[in-house]
Amino acid sequence: MTDFADIWSYLSRGPLLWLTATLAAYAAGDLLFRASGRNPMVNPVLIAVCILAVVLKLTGTSYATYFEGAQFVHFLLGPATVALALPLFDNLHHLKRTVLPVFAALVVGSVVATGSALLIASWMGVDQMLLASLAPKSATAPVAIGISQELGGSPTLTAVLVILTGITGAVVATPLLNLLRVKDWRARGFAVGVVSHGIGTARALQVHPTAGAFAGLGMAINAVATAILAPLLLGLFLS
């Protein structure tokens, strides 16, 4: 009979175990989310990430080994982003009548997302490399990383800040927008997509299909807006 340690060392090196662990951690997060009465503070992504972080730490598994398995889930992000065309198409009748609100909310949302972060961080005495890494944080990850590199930021740091921004938006959006009494699903979804890209869009899709469609739209056009605005706004803060 093979010893448990041998079986473990075999499994922990292959993709099967970590793919399963990713799904199990998310299933646990989703279960807690449902058990909480779909409370937005109980975010399934955040819970899954925390569970996995503990498991990886306890088993001494490197992220590279983990990603061998998790890459199959990660890969689906691309096709899923393309699939956002479906809710957008279903909400086309909304889109045609919202050109002005979309444009106004894009400019305000994007400028406030980048500008307020730069303002707070520079006020706290953060260095220039960190400011450059922070500037594109509301854009979807591949775009944000590209912008950060051009501005002299750190791509790794930007990836971290992008994910943190996404999770923050997904957690705060519902209570915040209820507090502000914004009832328009288009407005709610769009703002979340602009500020919190794909993670915010995933959250908006859970809440309402129209909010999900507008979040997808917000994520897409803020990728372009951030590429234009982030260098301009950063220029104001660099000496």
Partner 1 sequence: MHALLIILIAQIAGEFVARAAGLPLPGPVLGMIFVLGLLIAVPHLREMIRAVAQTLLSHLSLLFVPAGAGVVGHLATLGDRTGVILLTIVVSAVLAIGAGALTFAAVARLTGSTDD
Contacts of partner 1 in 4-63 (CB under 8 A):
22-23, 25-26, 44-46, 48-50, 52-53, 56, 63
205: which DSSP letter? Answer: H
Could you tell me which residues come within 8 angstroms of residue 23 by beta carbon, excluding any fewer than 6 positions away? 73
Among 132, 151, 153, 169, binds partner 1 (CB under 8 A): 169
Tokens of 182: 């914004």
Q: Which of residues 90-149 bind partner 1 (CB under 8 A)?
A: 92, 94, 97-98, 100-102, 104-106, 108-110, 112-113, 116-117, 120-121, 124, 126, 130, 134, 137-138, 140-143, 146-147
> What angle in degrees, to the nearest 10, is found between the helix axes of 44-59 and 15-35?
140
Question: Closer to partner 1 at the Cβ: 2 or 225?
Answer: 225
Binding partner 1 by CB under 8 A: which of 17, 132, 167, 233?
167
- Distance in angstroms (rounded) separating the CA atoms of residues 26 and 46: 9
86 binds partner 1 per the rule CB under 8 A:
yes
Q: Which is nearer to partner 1, 7 or 41 (CB)?
A: 41
Residue among 40, 4, 48, 43 at smallest CA distance from 23: 48
Judge whether 215 and 192 are in contact, CB under 8 Å.
Answer: yes
**Max Cα separation, the chain?**
70
Rounded CA gap, 63 and 57, in Å?
10
Give the one residue of 35, 41, 160, 232 binding partner 1; rule: CB under 8 A: 160
Q: Which of residues 191-230 bind partner 1 (CB under 8 A)?
A: 191-192, 194-196, 198-199, 201-203, 205-206, 210, 212, 216, 218-220, 223-224, 227-228
User: Which one of residues 38, 74, 232, 238 is an interface residue with partner 1 (CB under 8 A)?
Assistant: 74
Distances (CA, A) of 82 to 60, 139, 187, 224: 36, 17, 22, 17
**Among residues 32, 88, 129, 149, which is the contact residue for partner 1, using CB under 8 A?**
88
**Binder of partner 1 out of 11, 16, 31, 164 (CB under 8 A):** 164
* Cα 165 from Cα 125, distance rounded (Å): 20
Tell me how far, at minimum, the Cβ of 6 lies from partner 1, in Å. Answer: 26
